[in-house]
């Protein structure tokens, strides 16, 4: 009996120190931010938060996420300005009845004007507050970033989710806040980020409503230090992304074996390695590209049924890859002076003594680096047919 009484008193005393749930926060009192954008208006930061509306989520279907085909949006935007980025967030909080939480933020969009002025000063608050996710993906936008954050994304519940998926399709290792900060603090490499803009989804007049615009990656934002110095656009974007060893499965349009028509090849596998050769101040960067591909379209007059034709096709594809990379490198080295391929970092890793001699003069030496590209491309799959489908055999060419 005494032992039972003693045990009971011991349990009672131990429960006195338990605090219970006095500091709990009900989920109904929290506003979950799923995406943010940062813009600059004169001397003020504009922060725009995309906040989920749990009551409108439900299941997927025709209810329409992010301004879909019908029904209410599954998010809403709040936007305020402040002299610092944190101050602008606090201004949003003061007008919101729920406690704003950034723990579910997956994307951060930076307006072009902010990027031109420099992004280092705005990064502090993202790392200082533990609730902020350093795994949030970062991109630059053409024009105000809040316009992209409120664009149509009928295939997804939120525009920020569409942005995240596009970035994962574009590159093997999407740039997170963590990677962005690491590259900013690393010698011998400059930052590059996906460049988003709004593009017409359908021709004008196809629908009765106003012209629809979809979110799309249209370029690569190039930095020097923490400032945006230019945007790489056009066909060179995919090949420079390949040269950075970040391309997922890029397509390349190759002239037919006789120079007429085109064959489209998807690079299903690709690996790029860099090796510097240094003689005094003369630097040569040897780039080796190993790739495997598949034919996904044959618009030429050639039947791909012989080893000779396939060899010629692989040669043409290699020439096209090399030409596009050199074209992109010309812009990177001579126009923007942005070392997004990390030539300097490669020298630092492969030949530290040489980097010690170069690092204080790298801005001057970088444009003089000669790049030699060697490719080894094997087209392993030509699809279900070897001849251009729908054409008679007598009009085709064979080698």
Over the stretch 224-250, which tens digit does the pLDDT of each residue have?
Answer: 999 999 999 998 999 999 999 999 999
What does the domain layout of the chain look like in residue ranges?
Answer: 29-233, 234-399
Separation between Cα atoms, residue 68 and residue 160, nearest integer Å: 14
Please tell me the predicted confidence (pLDDT) of residue 69. Answer: 35
Distances (CA, A) of 58 to 55, 65, 104, 140: 7, 10, 18, 31
pLDDT digits (tens, 9 = 90+) for 101-156: 888 899 999 999 999 999 998 888 887 777 788 899 999 999 999 999 988 887 88
Please tell me the predicted confidence (pLDDT) of residue 82. Answer: 92
Three-class secondary structure of residue 234 per DSSP: coil
Pick 234-399's CATH classification: 3.30.300.210, 2.40.30.30, 3.40.50.150, 3.40.630.30. 3.30.300.210
Please tell me the predicted confidence (pLDDT) of residue 242. Answer: 96
Contacts of 386 (CB under 8 A, 6+ apart): 303, 304, 305
Please tell me the predicted confidence (pLDDT) of residue 329. Answer: 97
Please tell me the predicted confidence (pLDDT) of residue 27. Answer: 73
The residue among 200, 136, 203 whose CA lies nearest residue 163 is: 136
pTM beyond 0.95, yes or no: no
Separation between Cα atoms, residue 115 and residue 333, nearest integer Å: 20
Please tell me the predicted confidence (pLDDT) of residue 71. Answer: 47
pLDDT < 50 positions in the chain: 60-71
Q: What is the DSSP letter of 397?
A: B
């Amino acid at each position: 009996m005494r032992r039972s009484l003693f045990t009971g008193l011991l349990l009672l005393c131990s429960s006195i120190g338990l605090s219970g749930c006095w500091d709990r926060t009900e989920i109904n009192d929290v506003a979950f931010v799923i995406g943010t954008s940062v813009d600059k208006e004169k001397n003020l930061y504009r922060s725009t938060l995309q906040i989920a509306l749990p009551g409108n989520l439900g299941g997927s279907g025709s209810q329409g996420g992010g301004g879909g085909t019908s029904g209410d949006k599954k998010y809403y935007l709040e936007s305020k300005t402040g002299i610092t980025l944190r101050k602008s967030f606090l201004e949003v909080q003061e007008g919101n009845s729920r406690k704003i939480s950034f723990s579910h933020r997956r994307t951060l969009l930076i307006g072009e004007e902010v990027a031109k002025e420099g992004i280092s000063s705005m990064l502090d608050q993202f790392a200082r507050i533990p609730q902020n996710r350093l795994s949030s993906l970062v991109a630059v936008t053409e024009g105000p970033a809040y316009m992209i954050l409120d664009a149509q994304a009928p295939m997804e519940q939120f525009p920020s989710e569409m942005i995240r998926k596009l970035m994962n399709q574009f590159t093997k290792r999407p740039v997170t806040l963590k990677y962005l900060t690491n590259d900013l603090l690393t010698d011998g490499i400059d930052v590059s980020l996906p460049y988003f803009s709004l593009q017409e989804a359908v021709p004008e007049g196809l629908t009765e409503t106003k012209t629809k615009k979809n979110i799309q990656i249209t370029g690569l934002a190039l930095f020097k230090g923490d400032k945006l110095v230019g945007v790489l656009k056009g066909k060179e974007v995919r090949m420079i992304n390949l040269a950075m060893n970040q391309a997922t499965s890029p397509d390349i349009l190759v002239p037919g074996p006789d120079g007429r028509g085109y064959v489209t090849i998807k690079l299903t596998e690709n690996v790029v390695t860099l090796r510097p050769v240094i003689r005094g101040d003369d630097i040569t960067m040897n780039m080796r590209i190993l790739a495997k591909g598949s034919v996904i379209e044959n618009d030429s007059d050639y039947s791909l049924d012989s080893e000779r034709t396939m060899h010629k096709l692989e040669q043409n594809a290699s020439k096209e890859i090399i030409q596009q990379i050199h074209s992109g490198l010309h812009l990177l080295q001579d126009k923007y002076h942005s070392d997004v391929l990390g030539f300097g970092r490669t020298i630092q890793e492969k030949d530290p003594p040489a980097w010690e001699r170069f690092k204080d003069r790298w801005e001057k030496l970088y444009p003089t680096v000669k790049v030699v590209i060697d490719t080894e491309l094997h087209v392993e799959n030509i699809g279900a047919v070897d001849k251009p489908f729908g054409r008679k055999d007598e009009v085709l060419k064979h080698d």
